[in-house]
């Protein structure tokens, strides 16, 4: 038994027996800090804080192995662990005992759901989606770069000519 991060998708089903998967899909792709994400959640770790001794005693009494820290609502970073990609996840179907392999899909830093579920399949590989490059995104990127260059050289700002 090891430490895992987990993804939960209430809509996932076993492709072999069509049973609903009621537990969380496990991954070892990140830091394995026992984080759990549901659909729509921002894929980043939460900060932890120490529980003040007075509060800990009030909650847990003299329990020797009571928790000494708790998860906060703040994230470790504003940047997600993954912006766009597919994280390999696995679980066992409780009904048919099949080993299931799948992907947790992440788009714009948010968990979108479990996809490409296979029963007794091979372990999946981590996949990163490269953002699509469009004329609009290129124009924006070059305008940003040009503005920094113009500021450093004290040139006048130029305007883009509309070719469309």
pLDDT tens by residue, 44-57: 988 989 988 888 88
Residues 6 or more apart from 108 whose CB is under 8 A from it? Answer: 83, 84
Residue 14 · residue 100 · CB < 8 Å? yes
In Å, how far are 48, 64, 78, 98, 153 from 75, measured between CA atoms?
9, 29, 7, 35, 39
Domain assignment present for residue 103? The answer is yes
**Are 106 and 89 found together in one domain?**
yes
pLDDT tens by residue, 56-102: 888 888 887 878 888 888 988 888 888 889 999 999 999 999 999 99
Compute how many other C-beta atoms are within 10 angstroms of the C-beta atom of residue 90.
Answer: 16
Q: What is the pLDDT of residue 100?
A: 94
pLDDT tens by residue, 13-34: 999 999 999 999 999 998 888 8
Residue 1 clears pLDDT 60, i.e. is over it: no
User: What is the domain count for the chain?
Assistant: 2
Measured distance between the N- and C-terminal CA atoms of the chain, rounded to whole angstroms: 59
Q: What is the pLDDT of residue 152?
A: 62
- Identify the domain containing residue 39 by its residue range: 5-44+79-128
In Å, how far are 53, 54, 57, 58, 65 from 62, measured between CA atoms?
11, 11, 6, 9, 9
**Are 113 and 160 found together in one domain?**
no
**Are 110 and 143 found together in one domain?**
no
Domain assignment present for residue 110? The answer is yes
Q: What is the pLDDT of residue 51?
A: 87
**Are 91 and 144 found together in one domain?**
no
Domain assignment present for residue 95? The answer is yes
Compute how many other C-beta atoms are within 10 angstroms of the C-beta atom of residue 97.
Answer: 10
The Cβ-side half-sphere exposure at 92, using a 13 Å CA radius, reads 4
DSSP state, residue 112? E
Length of the chain (residues): 164
Q: Is the pTM of this model over 0.85?
A: no
**Are 112 and 137 found together in one domain?**
no
**Are 86 and 162 found together in one domain?**
no
Residue 110 β-bridge partners:
42, 107
Residue 161 clears pLDDT 70, i.e. is over it: no
Compute how many other C-beta atoms are within 10 angstroms of the C-beta atom of residue 111.
Answer: 22
């Amino acid at each position: 038994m090891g430490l895992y991060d987990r993804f939960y998708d209430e809509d996932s089903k076993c492709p072999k027996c069509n049973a609903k998967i009621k537990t969380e899909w496990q991954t070892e792709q990140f830091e394995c800090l026992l984080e759990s994400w549901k659909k729509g959640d921002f894929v980043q770790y939460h900060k932890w804080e120490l529980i003040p001794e007075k509060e800990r005693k009030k909650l847990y009494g003299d329990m020797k192995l009571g928790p000494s820290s708790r998860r906060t609502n703040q994230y470790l970073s504003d940047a997600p662990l993954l912006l766009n990609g597919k994280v390999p996840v696995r679980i066992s179907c409780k009904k048919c005992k099949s080993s299931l392999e799948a992907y947790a899909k992440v788009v714009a830093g948010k968990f979108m759901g479990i996809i490409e579920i296979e029963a007794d399949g091979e372990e999946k590989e981590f996949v990163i989606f490269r953002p699509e490059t469009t004329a609009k995104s290129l124009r924006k990127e070059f305008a940003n770069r040009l503005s920094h260059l113009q500021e450093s050289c004290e040139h006048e700002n130029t305007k883009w000519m509309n070719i469309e």
